[in-house]
Structures are given as C-alpha cells and as structure tokens.
Chain A
Amino acid sequence: MTPLASYLLVAALLFSIGLAGALTRRNAILVLIGIELMLNAANLNLIAFWRFGPHPEALTGMMFAIFSIAVAAAEAAVGLGLVIQIHRHAKTTDLDAMNRMKG
C-alpha cells in the first residue's frame, strides 16, 4: 500500500502547480483556478492524514476536508461573481491591467 509520504508529495506538487498558475497567469479566472487547485491539494493532505492518522474513526480530517470543500464552493461562487463584475466594469480580466481602485 502506498505510504503517506507519496500522498503528501502529490499534494505538495499539486499545491505548487496551483500556486504557479495563480502567480503566472494573466487571466483572473485562471488565477482562481490555481487557487482551487491549491485548496484541493490541501484537502488531499487532510484526507491522507485522516486515513493514516491514529484515530480515523474520529473523522476529524475527513470533516475538515468536507467543510473545506463546502467553503471552497462558496469561495468559487463569490470569486467568479467578482471577476464577472470586474469584467463588466473594466472590460478586462487581465490582472496586470487591474492595479487601480478606480476603473
């Protein structure tokens, strides 16, 4: 059976990929995508630790993951709503172009 370390490594990889995406892409939506990836990586960590932890029956890690999934959904909804609104306002989703409070 796969050891915990490999799961953690995969999670770390996904996390950094997401981070890279969030850091390098121009498009706000893609930044959001990167953030989603990072969240998922975190969830993977949680689940893995729950599975390998001493008390899986306590369900703590799993609950954490489930809640974070729910929160992530909310975050995505609001984030994308904001992006759409910004696009309406500034006619762009280019983050480099969006560095002023006034449009």
Chain B
Amino acid sequence: MQETISFTPQLTASPIAEMLWLVPAVPIVAAGIAALLKQPRRKLAATLAIGSMSFSLLFSLFAFAHVLAGWTHGLAIRETVNITWFQVGNSQVELGWVLDPLSAVMLVMVTFVGLLIFIYSTRYMEHDENYTRFFCFLSLFAGAMLGVVIANSLLLFFMCWELVGLTSYLLIGFWYYKPSAASAAKKAFLTTRVGDVFFLLGMVWLFSQTGTLLFYNNGAGSLESNALLLLLSQHAALGLTAAGAIGLLIFAGAAGKSGQFPLHVWLPDAMEGPTPVSALIHAATMVAAGVYLIARVYPLMQAGALAGGTTTPLIVVTWVGAFTAVFAALIAVAQNDIKRILAYSTVSQLGYMMAGLGMGGVAVGMFHLITHAFFKALLFMGAGSVIHGCHDEQDIRRMGGLKSDMPITFLTYGIGMLALSGFPILSGFWSKDGILEAAQHWSVAKTPFYMLVFGALLTAFYMTRQVAYVFLGHWRGHGTAHESPNVMTVPLAILAFFAMALGLLGTPAWPWFHAFLEGRSTRFEWHILVEPGLLGLMLTSTAVVLAGIFLGLKIYGDRSPKPEAPDVLEKFAPMPWRWLRDRLYVDEFYALTVIAFYTWWARVADWLDRKVWGGAVASVASVFRGWAHLNRFLDANVVDGSFDKGCDEISSSGGLLALLQTGRVQTYLRILALAIVVLTAILIWSSRA
C-alpha cells in the first residue's frame, strides 16, 4: 500500500501550543462565572457558554491548522508543555499538555459538535427554569473534556476524566426531582467509578515503575521507548509484562467510561438527562473519552508487540469491543424508547471503536470515533427534535408518520441513520469498513470479523426499525406533531452534511486521516478501491447493510395504527424478545450479586456496630455506673457534713470518670488545674533529680 516513511518528529513547543491550555480553561472559567449568575440571567449564561465554546473552537482550529501545516511540510508535530506541579521526595509530579495530530483532531471535533449542541440546547431547554445552571454545567463539562483531550500527563488526564464524570453526573441528574433521573445519575457515577479504580491502580503502578506520568517528555515520558522497555522488563503475574498489566488496568477504566460490556449498564439509563446532554455525553465526548484514552496510551498497549503481531491488552480490547458491539446491537433491536435505542447503538458503536483500536490501530478506531461523533450527535439531536415535536413523547410506538410533519428532521435523521448503519459512501460506511478490513486481516482470530459483520446487520436493522416506527406509517400519538424551530434544525443540517461528507477523508483510496494521525504522507490511489480483497469486503458490507434495511422495511414498513399492538418479532419469537427487551437481565444480575452483597455487608457492619461495639461500650458504662452507685451508697451512709462534701467530690469525680463530658465548664477547669499541679510537681522533681 502506501510507502511508510515516518516523518521527522518535531518537539519544540510553538506559541500556539504554549497557549493550548486556554482551550479548556475558557469554558471552565465561563462555567465559573455562570455559576455565580442569578437564575433570571438566562441570556447571559447562554451567551457565556456559547461564546467560550466558539472561542475554544476557533483556537482549536488554529491549533489544527498549525499541525496540518506541519504535516504538509513533513513534520510529525508533537509539542508538549510540561510543568512540575509539586515535589514528593525526589520524584516530582508533573502536569502538561500536548499538541499532536490526535489531540488536534479530537479538539476540533469536540469543540465543533459541542458548539452545535450548545446552540441547539438554547432552544431545547428554553422552558426550563434552571437554564443558567444547565449552561454552567454544559460548559464545565466541555472544559473538562477538552482538558482530557489535551492532557499530556496521565494525572491531568485522570483529573479531567473525573471532572467529566462529575459533570456527567450533574447533567444526567439535571432533572433531579425525577427519581429515575437521580438514580440514573448515581448509577452512571458509580459504574464509571468501578472502572476508574482500576485506572487509578494502573496509574499508580505506572508511576511507581517509571517515576513519571507524562506521556511525552522528550524521551523521558512514560510512553516513550525507555520507559516502555523498562516496563517490558518487569514481569507481573500470569505471564504478563508490567506494560501489559498496566494496559489492562487502564483499559478497565476506559471500558467504564465508554460503556464496554460489563460496565455498560449506566449508559442507557443516562438517557434520563436532557437530550442535548445525551447528545453531548453519548455522541461526542464522554463515551469517546474512553476510546481516546486507549488511543492516547496506544504505545503502552502495543508495547512488546512484534511487527504485525499484537499484545494481550489489545486482544482483550478487541474481544470486549466485538462482544459489546453485538451484544448491545441485539438489545437495541427490542427497545421502544427512541433514546434508549440510540444509547444501545452507541454502546455497540463504541464496541466497534474498541475493536478497531484493538485490531487496526489508532487511526482506524479514531476515524470511527470522529464519524460516529457526528452522526450520533445528529441522531440524538434529531431524536430531541422529534421528542420536542411530539410534546416530550419518547415511546416510538406512540409516534409515526412524522415524515410529513417534520420533513427537515426526517431528512437529516434519515441521513444519520444511513450513516450509522454504514450505507455506502456515507461516513459510517468508510469508518466501519476500515474496522472490518482490519478485522479481516487480524492475525489472532477471525471470529471478531464475523461478529462485527453480524453487528452491522443488526445495526442496519434496528435503525430501520426505529425510523419506520417514528417516521413511516401513520401518527399514533396524541395531539399533532410540529417541526422544530430553525435554531434546532440548522445544527441538524450542518451535522447531516458532515455525516455524509466526513467519510471521504478516510477512504481506502485516500486514507488522509490515517496518514495524518500516523504521520505519513498519502496520495490518491484509485486502484485500491478495485483490489479484489477490499472490493469484496465493501460489497459484503454493502450487501449486509442493504439486507438489514430491507428486513427492517419489510417487517416494520406498515405498522398497524394501534400503539398497543405487540411488536412483529414479539409475535414471532416471544421468549427471546422478552429477554432482549429486558436488556438480557444484566441489571438484574448486578442487583442479585453486587448490590445484594453490599446490602448484606452493610447489614453485617450495622450488626457489629450495634451488638459488639455497642455492647462493649454499654458494659464499660455500666461498670462506671456501678462505681458511681457505690459512691452514692457510701455517701448516704457517712453523716459528717464536711466529709460528706468530700465523698460528694469523690462520687462526682467517679462520675467524672464515667462520663468526662459533664458539660460543666468548671469541671474542665478543675481538671486543667489538677494537670497544672501534677505537671509542676513532675517538673520540679525532674529538675531536682
């Protein structure tokens, strides 16, 4: 294929890289200001958020242009700015940010999609009285995400990562008065935490091994050859190298954030948040963060791989990704909530990205991430517009026939759906093809390839089903649907355009994107398209997609006007349908195992606290009480007044032993004075001796 002369690396930081910190800083500052605003200052809050975001977008574009210029001049730009945060003993903790093709691309994507979503939400949220709070959270979230993107130190990465987690919690639970939303927020927070614990472990391990958390630091970074060699020399359990183990731990964190199989449960529930939030979190940013993390630490993941070979972490990544892709796609088939379907499709697409990373390398996964970001944002916002138009109806069985009512939404949504299901020459097609191709050539096993193909079929199917439910057939809801205002449709249109066009950056014929990320030069080579292998693959995937769409239309094309009518497949195969509808009982499984364990453990702890410790304390107290009683008895029997007083003192001092907290100032004073006496005595004696 292309000749692979690697570019000369370029290390010194240019002014634009020096100022890169502004990109996350500005939204965060905007959030800080917005946090101080009073509720009625809606306009100002929105202006702040959008203004800051557009600034970031502008700046990111500059940075991107800078990197691009470098690339055209044959330079692999990787400019890092590192600062020592603090010193621990003789090892110092450093923070820093990096500007390289990866971060540049990601920056542009996040800021662009984010900006569109901001604009969109100005209208979508207009009736919410917590408008200002919403925008405060939004820009804080965006800032944190941008921080994740530019981070050049695993520590900074982790901080921003956690900040993202927090803000996602705040945003998902934005309508905290809805118990479902509140619990969903909690669920998201805790589930991601599970991953983060492993991530933290990996980070600490990495630090203990290499003594630095910087990714790139002119050869001293933890992702650069010396550190990697060091890590490879260390051996952990199970025949893993330290590098492998750390890679796995970090992947656990990534899995938590981007909802890979065991930890995916939070993502569908997160749909309780406002739709723009879903778009932002589940399309562009948060879930992408996990994938981005893997892409960022790819050298670590890949460490020790022979040429063309692969490593344990990558294999794990691949399998988990592939499994998630199919698994989530299956569930998505049987969902009825428009946003839930999208959520599960997101999960499965994330699976695709992971698999792509595992098998094809950074570029493949990242490319799918970017394209997916666009069309998934488009889909979510389209769904939002549908919900908006149907008076906050989310059940697709109560929609239908919106084709005529909201044409723009239908058009854009259709494009998004086609892109997602990988219809030829739309962006999704190319990115997914990249992954499939990589899977085809994967040396370890062929199974992932078939799984992914099956996933593609399912994707096409359930998306068609959804579209058929929502836009085709006749109106089954109440009231009448109406098209959304321009503020919401224009972003849709823009995204739709990118959903179509973006793929052209990464066609096998002209893999500009891959070249850009990996620092190679590239040029048009039409003949690649007609190479038998690739052509065959493309044809198969096209056939699969068409089959999926055809099936969908065949089954759901003419939906009966009754919303309550059972689903066609349900009639066909009730039992598995119910399984799928109940999301394969993962939640229930957790409820039975993990949560049950915790409740049990809590009960045990409570019991310990009550019986054992409480008993001990009670017994001690009773002993003292007995002592006090004894004193009282003595007291009663001694008649002499002054001696009586003395006994009174003894008993009260006995009581003082029992409960030192009399609350009487003078008691304390007395103890103090006694202490003085004793101390002075000791002092004098010691001085005499």
Does residue B83 face the partner (Cβ distance < 8 Å to A)? Answer: no
CB of B673 within 8 A of CB of A19, answer: yes
**Nearest chain-B residue to A100 (Cβ)?**
B663
Provide the B663-689 mask, 1 if CB < 8 A to any CB of A, else 0: 111100110010000000000000000
CB of B662 within 8 A of CB of A99, answer: yes
Within the complex, what minimum Cβ distance (angstroms) separates A51 from chain B? 23
**Nearest chain-B residue to A97 (Cβ)?**
B664
Within the complex, what minimum Cβ distance (angstroms) separates A18 from chain B? 11
A22 proximity list for chain B (CB < 8 A): 666, 669
A11 proximity list for chain B (CB < 8 A): none
**Nearest chain-A residue to B665 (Cβ)?**
A95
CB of A31 within 8 A of CB of B666, answer: yes
Within 8 A of A (CB), among B648-670: 662-666, 669-670
Within the complex, what minimum Cβ distance (angstroms) separates A24 from chain B? 8
Does residue A4 face the partner (Cβ distance < 8 Å to B)? Answer: no
Number of A-B residue pairs with CB-CB distance less than 8 Å in the complex they form: 24
CB of B663 within 8 A of CB of A23, answer: no
Within the complex, what minimum Cβ distance (angstroms) separates B662 from chain A? 6
CB of B666 within 8 A of CB of A95, answer: yes
Within the complex, what minimum Cβ distance (angstroms) separates A15 from chain B? 10
CB of B666 within 8 A of CB of A23, answer: yes
**Complex: A96 Cα to B662 Cα, angstroms:** 10
* Count of chain B residues near A, Cβ 8 A: 8
CB of B664 within 8 A of CB of A95, answer: yes
CB of B665 within 8 A of CB of A98, answer: yes
CB of B669 within 8 A of CB of A23, answer: yes
**Complex: A101 Cα to B673 Cα, angstroms:** 24
**Nearest chain-B residue to A101 (Cβ)?**
B663
**Complex: A28 Cα to B669 Cα, angstroms:** 13
**Complex: A101 Cα to B666 Cα, angstroms:** 15
**Complex: A100 Cα to B673 Cα, angstroms:** 23
**Complex: A22 Cα to B665 Cα, angstroms:** 10
Provide the A42-78 mask, 1 if CB < 8 A to any CB of B, else 0: 0000000000000000000000000000000000000
CB of A23 within 8 A of CB of B662, answer: no
**Complex: A18 Cα to B664 Cα, angstroms:** 18
Within the complex, what minimum Cβ distance (angstroms) separates A22 from chain B? 6
B663 proximity list for chain A (CB < 8 A): 98-101
**Complex: A98 Cα to B670 Cα, angstroms:** 16
Within the complex, what minimum Cβ distance (angstroms) separates B646 from chain A? 16
Within 8 A of B (CB), among A14-28: 19, 22-23, 28
**Complex: A23 Cα to B664 Cα, angstroms:** 11
CB of A31 within 8 A of CB of B665, answer: yes
Within the complex, what minimum Cβ distance (angstroms) separates B106 from chain A? 56
**Complex: A98 Cα to B668 Cα, angstroms:** 13
**Nearest chain-B residue to A96 (Cβ)?**
B664
* Count of chain A residues near B, Cβ 8 A: 11
B669 proximity list for chain A (CB < 8 A): 19, 22-23, 31
B662 proximity list for chain A (CB < 8 A): 99
B670 proximity list for chain A (CB < 8 A): 23
A99 proximity list for chain B (CB < 8 A): 662-664
B673 proximity list for chain A (CB < 8 A): 19, 23
**Complex: A44 Cα to B669 Cα, angstroms:** 22
A101 proximity list for chain B (CB < 8 A): 663
Provide the A73-94 mask, 1 if CB < 8 A to any CB of B, else 0: 0000000000000000000000
**Complex: A22 Cα to B670 Cα, angstroms:** 9
Provide the B89-118 mask, 1 if CB < 8 A to any CB of A, else 0: 000000000000000000000000000000
Within 8 A of A (CB), among B190-241: none
Within the complex, what minimum Cβ distance (angstroms) separates A38 from chain B? 10
Within the complex, what minimum Cβ distance (angstroms) separates B676 from chain A? 9
A23 proximity list for chain B (CB < 8 A): 666, 669-670, 673
Within the complex, what minimum Cβ distance (angstroms) separates B474 from chain A? 68
Within the complex, what minimum Cβ distance (angstroms) separates A103 from chain B? 12
Within the complex, what minimum Cβ distance (angstroms) separates A1 from chain B? 27
**Nearest chain-B residue to A26 (Cβ)?**
B666
A19 proximity list for chain B (CB < 8 A): 669, 673
Within the complex, what minimum Cβ distance (angstroms) separates B141 from chain A? 43
Most buried by A among B662, B665, B670, B673: B665
**Complex: A19 Cα to B672 Cα, angstroms:** 10
**Complex: A95 Cα to B669 Cα, angstroms:** 12
A98 proximity list for chain B (CB < 8 A): 663-665
**Complex: A70 Cα to B319 Cα, angstroms:** 75
**Nearest chain-A residue to B670 (Cβ)?**
A23
**Complex: A41 Cα to B669 Cα, angstroms:** 17
Within the complex, what minimum Cβ distance (angstroms) separates A40 from chain B? 17
Within 8 A of A (CB), among B270-299: none
Within the complex, what minimum Cβ distance (angstroms) separates A28 from chain B? 8
**Complex: A31 Cα to B664 Cα, angstroms:** 12
**Complex: A28 Cα to B663 Cα, angstroms:** 14
**Nearest chain-B residue to A24 (Cβ)?**
B666
Within the complex, what minimum Cβ distance (angstroms) separates A86 from chain B? 11
Within the complex, what minimum Cβ distance (angstroms) separates B659 from chain A? 11
**Complex: A26 Cα to B359 Cα, angstroms:** 83
**Nearest chain-A residue to B664 (Cβ)?**
A99
**Complex: A98 Cα to B666 Cα, angstroms:** 11
**Complex: A96 Cα to B673 Cα, angstroms:** 18
**Nearest chain-A residue to B662 (Cβ)?**
A99
**Complex: A100 Cα to B661 Cα, angstroms:** 10
Within the complex, what minimum Cβ distance (angstroms) separates A12 from chain B? 11
Within the complex, what minimum Cβ distance (angstroms) separates A56 from chain B? 25
B666 proximity list for chain A (CB < 8 A): 22-23, 31, 95
Within 8 A of A (CB), among B142-173: none
**Complex: A96 Cα to B663 Cα, angstroms:** 9
Within the complex, what minimum Cβ distance (angstroms) separates B95 from chain A? 44
A100 proximity list for chain B (CB < 8 A): 663
**Complex: A22 Cα to B669 Cα, angstroms:** 8
**Nearest chain-A residue to B667 (Cβ)?**
A99
A95 proximity list for chain B (CB < 8 A): 664-666
A31 proximity list for chain B (CB < 8 A): 665-666, 669
18 A-B pairs within 8 Å (CB atoms) are namely A19-B669, A19-B673, A22-B666, A22-B669, A23-B666, A23-B670, A23-B673, A28-B665, A31-B665, A31-B669, A95-B664, A95-B666, A98-B663, A98-B664, A98-B665, A99-B662, A99-B663, A101-B663
Interface residues of B (CB under 8 A from A): 662-666, 669-670, 673
What are the nearest 10 A-B pairs in CB distance?
A99-B663, A99-B664, A95-B665, A22-B669, A23-B666, A19-B673, A23-B669, A95-B666, A23-B670, A100-B663
Interface residues of A (CB under 8 A from B): 19, 22-23, 28, 31, 95-96, 98-101
**With A95-B665, A98-B663 given, can you name 20 additional A-B contacts, CB distance below 8 Å?**
A19-B669, A19-B673, A22-B666, A22-B669, A23-B666, A23-B670, A23-B673, A31-B665, A31-B666, A31-B669, A95-B664, A95-B666, A96-B664, A98-B664, A98-B665, A99-B662, A99-B663, A99-B664, A100-B663, A101-B663
